[in-house]
Amino acid sequence: MNMDRNTVIGFVLLAALLFIYLFTSTRNSQELAADQQKKADSVARVAKLRDSLALGKADTVKLTAAVPDSLPGFKKSAEENLLVVENELLRITFSNKGGQPKKVELKKYKSVDSTPVVLGGTEFDRFSYPVNSGANQSALVSDLYFTPGTVTKNADSSQTVSFVATGVGGETITHTFIIPFNNYLLDWNIQLNGADKLLTQGAFNFTWQSRPVQHESDVEYERQQTNICFYEDGDFDYIMSKTEKKFEKSIQWVSVAQQFFNTTIVAKTPFSSGDILFTRETVDSAKRIADVVTTVQAKLPIGSVAAFPLQLYYGPNDYKILNKQPVEDMAKIINLGRDMYAFVRPINRAIVMPVFDFFKSFIGSFGLVIALLTIFIRLATSPLVYTSYLSGAKMKALRPEIDKMKARLGGDQQAVGMEQMKLFREAGVNPLGGCIPALLQIPIFFALYSFFNSNIALRGESFLWADNLASYDVIVNFPFSVWGLGSHLSLFTLTAAATSFLISLYNANMTPDQSNPALKYMPYIFPFILLFIFNRLPSALTWYYTVSNIITLILQWIIQNYIIDHDKILAKLEANRKKPKTKSKWQERMEQMQETQKKMQELKNKPGKK
């Protein structure tokens, strides 16, 4: 094995792992066509589910029909009244229809159209549960008109908003919301007076409909990053490509998580069971991300009074914010490494995030912060890099002798391989010395991929020609879609691929000539593949990769020209040759195998043999 082959091994493994990672994290895009075919059925099922919850049977009037303004058993309200309540972070519009938030604006974040990010602002969004409204009749709470909300300011600077719906028999449904000071997490208490009449056997069937919409520049990529997270029976999990999830154990919280924002419902007393229908939008021109219907059940104590406490989170996917919430494992909504790549999450939490935050604390440019983070990582891995470059220098020192050996043995590849292994053993050269360090750095690359792809701090931050480090930069817009690239070309992707190509050229000049065409040209093919892998990734990642490659080129040149003494290496190699050598069992087996292959080849090539 020579250095070219080792380089190829590293490239192939890196490419394979990267393809697997991108496939597992964005594989839902391959299922969009299937989702589109299922969409009509899913919508029909959602309608049927809502009808069943409201009326207890499948053959009832469809909910798309007009709802009368006076439902049986409840007092009439003339019109919908809206109430706006604000804290330092949120602007919440409540509606007395359903007694719930109608939409929530995030004051500190702008959507792609420069308007405030709005969560839960569509006609589809609602919370509901069925209550008995009369003899053999039921109604969805989302269709009931509550009294206009009242606001009370509390001593701790929080605000309490209350809505009450009263039945003709004196039953009351009270929705009380507490909007805290400077927080994204609301408390919501549902209290039922006359619960034994409003609920059948204490069955509390809660439905949450959510329709996340576009907030980022690339709606298709945002759809790919959107997933449903949940905490079931003490464990965090999520669905990204599946369209359904059935809960058979207790559920503490469910979250509709977009790339940088999420809406989460938390049950202080866990729900006992439920299911989710997740229908992702497939029309490129639509701003809709998906339709999500979560239906969960709980059993309330049978009595005249019952309460069910909930919490609602409307806010950013910011690790520090989520980690401070009194909700178990809520920070795992942010994908810092999952599934087979969960091993990179500790790297992000223990190393990447603290170092990034340290540089961010005194440097205003996020591009420079990424550059300094890259330098830090390269310094931390410098012992591995030096070992790799030292191995390359030894291989370069042996190159003249390997070239003479190839000229002497001609095209006999078996003989060349045996002689090379003998030469490496005599010289004390480990042909894997340049490959292993490169493989050890792969976890860092995947950690940074997860980190840059989910870091909301990069959102909207510009650097050089990139106007948003959380998305790809654009140097050319195509009038049509190019397979593998899309409708644009990223300049940072070009710089990453170009610097990778320069590294391949540099390494090729240091290693013995490779007669195998596949191995000879693979290092040059890999930078070309990067164009298709990186073109839609965040420019923060492609900028990091560019800086890392530039550092590699600089270090290679400095080490080769000013640190490594080639004459000293040759002298050491000659001294190693003169020492008695003992073969390992692995070396003996390899040589026996190569000798056997050589004899078989000779027999095959004898005259008269076919």
Average pLDDT over residues 101-129: 94
138 versus 260: the higher-pLDDT residue is: 260
Is the pLDDT confidence value at 263 over 60? yes
Percent of the chain whose pLDDT exceeds 90? 46
CA gap 230, 431 in Å, rounded: 48
**How sure is the predictor about 67, in pLDDT bands with cuts at 50, 70 and 90?**
very low
**Token pair for residue 258?**
């977009």
Q: Using one digit for the tens of pLDDT, what is the confidence trace for 204-248? A: 999 999 999 999 988 889 999 999 999 999 999 999 888 899 998
pLDDT value of position 380: 85
Query: What percent of the chain shows pLDDT beyond 70?
Result: 74
Going from the C-alpha of 346 to that of each of 52, 137, 335, 337, 507, the distances in angstroms are: 45, 54, 12, 9, 32
Model pLDDT, residue 435? 64
- The reported pLDDT for the residue numbered 591 is 66
With CA atoms as reference, report the closest residue to 447 among 48, 21, 38, 55. Answer: 21
Please check the confidence at residue 196 and state whether its pLDDT lies above 60.
Answer: yes
What is the average pLDDT score of the chain? 81
Between 320 and 570, residue with greater pLDDT: 320
pLDDT for 485 equals 79
Of the candidates 310, 455, 428, 447, the residue with the CA atom closest to the CA atom of residue 369: 455
Query: Regarding predicted confidence, which is higher, 514 or 28?
Result: 514
Q: How confident is the model at residue 40 (pLDDT cuts 50, 70, 90)?
A: very low
Residue 33 has pLDDT above 50, yes or no: no
Give the per-residue pLDDT at 540: 94
Contact 243, 278 (CB under 8 A): yes
Is pLDDT of 255 > 90? Answer: yes
Which of the four pLDDT bands, split at 50, 70 and 90, describes residue 260? Answer: very high
Architecture of the structural domain at 27-333: Distorted Sandwich (2.70)
pLDDT-based confidence at 577, cuts 50/70/90? low
- Asked whether 560 and 390 are in contact (CB, 8 A), the reply is no
**Ranges 153-157, 167-171, 514-518, most confident:** 153-157
Q: What is the mean pLDDT of residues 39-64?
A: 42
Q: How confident is the model at residue 30 (pLDDT cuts 50, 70, 90)?
A: very low
- pLDDT of amino acid 509: 65
Query: Does residue 26 have a pLDDT over 50?
Result: no
- φ, ψ for residue 199, nearest 5 deg: -115, 145
Q: What is the CB neighbour count within 10 angstroms for residue 85? A: 18
* pLDDT the model gives residue 90: 96
Structure tokens at 552: 């590699």
Burial class for 237, CB neighbours closer than 10 Å (0-12, 13-18, 19+): middle
Per-residue pLDDT for 65 more than 60? no
The strand order across the sheet containing 100-110 reads: 82-86, 90-95, 100-110, 116-119
Dist CA 239 CA 246 (whole Å): 11
Residue spans of the domains in the chain: they are 3-24+347-471+491-530+539-592, 27-333
208 versus 392: which is more confidently predicted? Answer: 208
Q: Give 509 or 309, the one with higher predicted confidence.
A: 309
Reduced to 3 states, what is the DSSP secondary structure of residue 101? strand
User: Highest mean pLDDT: which of 377-391, 399-413, 449-463?
Assistant: 449-463
pLDDT tens figures, 68-83: 444 556 655 568 899 9
Query: Does the structure show a pLDDT above 60 at 66?
Result: no
- Indicate the range of 491-495, 538-542, 551-555 predicted with least confidence: 551-555
**Residue 504 confidence class, pLDDT cut points 50, 70, 90:** confident
Closest of 454, 485, 486 to residue 470, by C-alpha: 454
Question: Does residue 39 register a pLDDT over 80?
Answer: no
Residue 287 CA to residue 69 CA, distance in Å, equals 31
Report how far residue 428's alpha carbon sits from residue 386's, in angstroms, rounded to the nearest whole number.
17
Assign 484 a pLDDT band (cuts: 50, 70, 90).
confident
Average pLDDT over every residue of 374-395: 78
Give the confidence band of 525 by pLDDT, cuts at 50, 70, 90: confident
250-264 average pLDDT score: 96
Look at 249 and 53; give whichever has higher pLDDT. 249
The span from the CA of 58 to the CA of 51, in Å, is 7
Quote the pLDDT of residue 273.
94
Indicate the pLDDT class of residue 36, thresholds 50, 70 and 90: very low
